[in-house]
Amino acid sequence: MQKKKSSIGWRNENKHPSLSEVFSSVSVPKQKGIWKKLFAFTGPGLLIAVGYMDPGNWATDIAGGSQFGYMLLSVIFISNFFAIILQHLALKLGIVCERDLAQACRDHYPPLISFILWILCEISIAACDLAEIIGSVLALKLLFGIPITWGVLITAIDILIILFFQYKGFRYIESVVAALIFTILVCFSFEIISSKPEIVPILKGIIPNPEIIKNSHSFYISIGILGATVMPHNLYLHSSIIQTRDYPRTTEGKKMAIKYATIDSTLSLSLAFFINAAILIISAATFHKAGYTEVADIMYAHKLLNPILGSSLSGVFFALALLASGQNSTLTGTLAGQIVMEGFINIKFKPWIRRLITRLIAIVPAIIVSIVYGEKGTTKLLIISQIILSIQLSFAIVPLVNFTGNYEKMGPFVNGPILKISAWVITIIIILLNLFLLYNTFLGRR
């Protein structure tokens, strides 16, 4: 017998909470203190921001800065604006509908469509995990001289560290992520001070320059920055982890939750903008200024930093930031994997099993490529992982924008006309740019 569609626009009313072990586990003060409430909602945004500063973004930022100086800062700024809008929609979906994006897809689309979306999402999470492995492995080689193949195996140990903090409580995970982000921030602050960038060109770089479109090379790199900035798994993740807050599940309570969660998300993504911009600024102030205009490889960038800046600490801080970035991203990737598996097909594994599955899928190709091709191979693998993420992105954004713009599902929280139009325009731009990026990548045109 076919189930009746619920009165709130979803097929299934009898749903399980997203991440049930930590659902509504972080208390929110009931009094009206703004700062206490903001602190209670601070955390999910930091976990999301991690995806915007992962090792996969480093290559495009370094290439953009070395080739075109500060000109592409405006592209990073626009990318960040797109991210703020889409993450706002993700947290709003989770708060209003009390479903993460995976559950929402399962409760809206036919089973076959949901299954296909799940497979695509699992592939993208494995690709993302692959990028984090490569970032961590390169950092281990730079810091300690550990061979690439051994570094790949060492990254598997982080399963135990992640599980330890996951069992301690969700706030512990958020604290670890915050500490690693602070490490990245300190490292890049040191690098910026050492590189002595020019303030006026930086300010000019934030303003869009027509030359970006006229120059085919800058346009191509811009597409790489803009088209691959928003990580698809972040949309699933944000719609789930925002529900860890114990806010009143009433209209007023949801309004309050959306307000503070949006502040948390916007501030955290602004921090991600600073770090991404810092990578490009450092690249512009060192490589571009010194005449090295073809730097797009992380290992090559590290090799050039010390002699150009004249400080042995520059390379150390660069590698340390890379390691923190890789480890941070692997935390959120694990959570996203758990969310999509439970949400799409309602299968729940123990966290260590889920983590092991995701990591093994990513480790196997990383080991094979590192043995056969070495460092150059891992860099190419990093690029392939970003292409996979680009393909998956459209399959996450379209349902999100569709659901949050549907009055039957969102009620009074439905996207207003301006937000609805803006969201669809952003979606179309990202889809077109990703298609263009894929077309050029596979045809080898630049």
Two tokens at 46?
């930091």
The answer for residues whose C-beta is within 8 angstroms of residue 356's C-beta and 6 or more apart is 159
* pLDDT for res 146: 85
Structural domain includes residue 250: yes
Q: Is residue 383 part of a domain?
A: yes
pLDDT of residue 384: 67
What is the mean pLDDT for each group of 10 consecutive residues in the chain (446 residues)?
51 76 86 87 91 76 88 92 95 94 93 90 78 80 83 70 69 86 89 89 91 81 72 90 93 95 95 90 90 76 78 82 80 80 80 68 65 61 67 87 95 95 93 77 60
Is residue 128 in a domain? Answer: yes
Q: What confidence score (pLDDT) does residue 152 get?
A: 74
428 class by beta-carbon count within 10 Å (0-12 exposed, 13-18 middle, 19+ buried): middle
CATH of the domain at 201: 1.20.1740.10
* Two structure tokens written together for 237: 């993740």
Amino acid at residue number 79: S
- Is 19 within a domain? no
Across 310-374, the runs of DSSP E, i.e. the strands, are none
pLDDT, position 270: 93
162 part of a folded domain: yes
Count helices and strands in the chain by DSSP H and E runs: 20, 2
What's the pLDDT score for residue 52?
Answer: 81
Asked whether residue 416 is assigned to any structural domain, the reply reads: yes
pLDDT, position 293: 78
CA distance 271 to 275: 6
Query: Is residue 22 in some structural domain?
Result: no
Whole-number Å distance between alpha carbons of 96 and 206: 35
Range of the domain at 208: 29-443
Are 6 and 13 spatial neighbours (Cβ–Cβ below 8 Å)?
Answer: yes
Q: Kindly report the backbone phi and psi dihedral angles of residue 346, in degrees, each rounded to the nearest multiple of 5, phi listed first.
A: 60, 35
Residue 410 placed within a domain: yes
What is the structure's pLDDT at 363? 66
CA dihedral 259, 260, 262, 265 (to 10 degrees): 180
Structural domains of the chain, count: 1
